[in-house]
Structure 1
Amino acid sequence: MEQEIYTEKKSSSRKFFLWIILVILLFGGVFIWYKYFFVFGEGVKSGQLNFVVKKGNVFKTYEGKLIQQGFGNNSKSGALTSYEFEFSIEDKAVFDQLEANSGKNFDLHYKEYHGTIPWRGNTVYVVDRVLNSK
């Protein structure tokens, strides 16, 4: 009789811990997907390409910077200011197109993520295509 109660308690505690582990894994998976793979925003940035570069110690990623000009709030009235848009590049073909036309004006489509992954790039902004070059 005591052996049956002990075995029953042992079985129910195993089920409880298995459910806890399953719930933790489920929430962990959802968190990782939301943080690193969910596209938070998409948009287009326009400006002059400052540079593109392939760099990295372990994972070689494509990185770039776009200079946007406009009228800013912190400057004197009517003065032009510049904003920098730093981004990572997913595709080597996009990198090659930007590298061949450094210094030109571009319209770049990008995706914004909540976090960075080492093999995707150093920024949360990832350019996936060039819409226009001038």
Structure 2
Amino acid sequence: MGNLFSDKYDDHFYSSKKDEEEQKKKEQQPVEETPEEREERELRELTYDRSSKRKRILIIGGVVLLVLGVSIALWLRYFHPYIVSEERGVILKVQSEGTILKTYEVQMISEKYIADTVRAYKSGFEFTIKSDSLAAKASRLQSTGRRVTVKYEEFKGMLPWRGETNRFATDIIADGEN
């Protein structure tokens, strides 16, 4: 018995040197083209592949739409007020808060709690004042007992540098003022 792992079909799996030499000779010889083959080759060389351009346009368009959508969502949440209203009551406390970016946090008892004698007072109406002049006006009216009307804007989201609440006073009008 011979070697169990030897077989006579090595030429099937491995090419001989003779075959490799013939292949190299074929590659080195100039290829004769028919006029149709030549025209087809020239068309392939001159034709611009538009599928990659379309893919690029679709990807860029998708990214632009995504950025635009996220920008609109952020603007609606943090910079566009979803409530513009006013509240009447008495200002209890005005205090300046913040280490770097100062805001004025104000607590007010709403008129609906002042008029209600049945239910206990739960919590005040809190809002933020950004301007110094409006904060000075609120400080003058603090604990005087005068009723005021606070016009404010309420946002859906809070940003850390804008204060503790999502309500921002735009105007404070004391009773008797116009």
Pairing 1:110–2:149 present: no
Which position in structure 1 is the counterpart of 2:164? Answer: 122
Higher strand share: 1
Higher relative contact order, chain-length normalized (CA < 8 Å, sep 6+): 1
- TM superposition shift of 1:2: 7.7
3-state SS, counterpart of residue 57 of structure 1: coil
Pairing 1:10–2:55 present: no
| Runs of at least 5 residues in structure 1 that lack an aligned partner in the other structure | 72-77
Q: Could you list the structure 1 runs, at least 4 aligned residues long, displaced by more than 6 angstroms after superposition.
A: none
Determine the C-alpha separation between the residues in 1 that align with 2:45 and 2:66.
Answer: 33
3-state SS, counterpart of residue 49 of structure 1: strand
Normalising by structure 1, we get a TM-score of 0.81
The percent identity for this pair of structures is 20
Change (3 A) 1:51 1:8: same
Number of residues of Structure 1 aligned to a counterpart in Structure 2: 127
- TM superposition shift of 1:101: 2.6
Structure number with larger C-alpha Rg: 2
Determine the C-alpha separation between the residues in 2 that align with 1:31 and 1:23.
Answer: 12
Higher helix share: 2
Determine the C-alpha separation between the residues in 2 that align with 1:2 and 1:70.
Answer: 87
Determine the C-alpha separation between the residues in 2 that align with 1:2 and 1:9.
Answer: 16
3-state SS, counterpart of residue 99 of structure 2: coil
3-state SS, counterpart of residue 39 of structure 1: coil
**Structure 2 counterpart of 1:98, from 138, 142, 148:** 138
Which position in structure 2 is the counterpart of 1:74? Answer: none
The CA RMSD measured in Å over matched residues stands at 2.2
Contact 1:39-1:111 within 8 A present in 2 as well: yes
Which position in structure 1 is the counterpart of 2:67? Answer: 25
Normalising by structure 2, we get a TM-score of 0.63
| Runs of at least 5 residues in structure 2 that lack an aligned partner in the other structure | 1-43
- TM superposition shift of 1:61: 1.4
